[in-house]
Amino acid sequence: MLLTCVCVTDLRITFRTTHTLANLLTHKDRAHDKYSLSGLYKLACPDCHKAYAGQTRRQFSSRYKEHKTAWCNHSTTSNFAQNLIEEAHSFGPMNQIMEIVHYHKKGAHLNILEKFHIHIESVKNNHLIDPQTIHPNAIFDALIKPNRPTFKPYNCPTPSPRL
């Protein structure tokens, strides 16, 4: 039917693509609010500066609100809030206490990243969670403190001045 209409009216059909050279060479950067994404985050107590590392598949802002709600309601649903309640510490604003460590989707890779950052904070004795959740990890220790041989120059005789 379409073909007969085109033939009778003497129209020519053309096709157009959206994959033009200009579209392929220009990068449209979508400005996302960094708290609207998901991944690994770190919360720091505003009073003692101890850290809590956690992950979320939802928005970082949603997870922050859950921690804050738990703190306001004296709930035990958040380990971070529970520690602040036990120590009678304050809860700071999101842009001051929340650090985005890594943007990532939920999965095994994110689980390892979370364990690594928990390990880093525990090695610095800066972790809020009880030490029973921390297990020794030789690989993480090697990544944190690589055993590089130290260079010690031997004593060279100083060259005598030329006359």
Q: What is the pLDDT of residue 58?
A: 92
Q: What is the pLDDT of residue 147?
A: 57
**Distance from C-alpha of 27 to C-alpha of 2, rounded to nearest angstrom:** 38
* Structure confidence by residue, pLDDT tens digits, 109-120: 888 888 888 888
Class of domain 36-144: alpha beta
Lowest mean pLDDT among 12-16, 64-68, 83-87, 93-97: 12-16
- Is this prediction's pTM over 0.85? no
Give the pair of three-digit tokens for residue 131.
Answer: 């030490």
Q: What is the pLDDT of residue 142?
A: 80
User: Angle at Cα 20 formed by Cα 16 and Cα 25, nearest 5°?
Assistant: 170
Which of 59, 97, 95 lies closest to 80, judged by CA?
97
Alpha helices, H only, 20-160? 21-25, 60-72, 79-87, 94-97, 108-123, 138-144
Residue percentage of the chain with pLDDT more than 70: 69
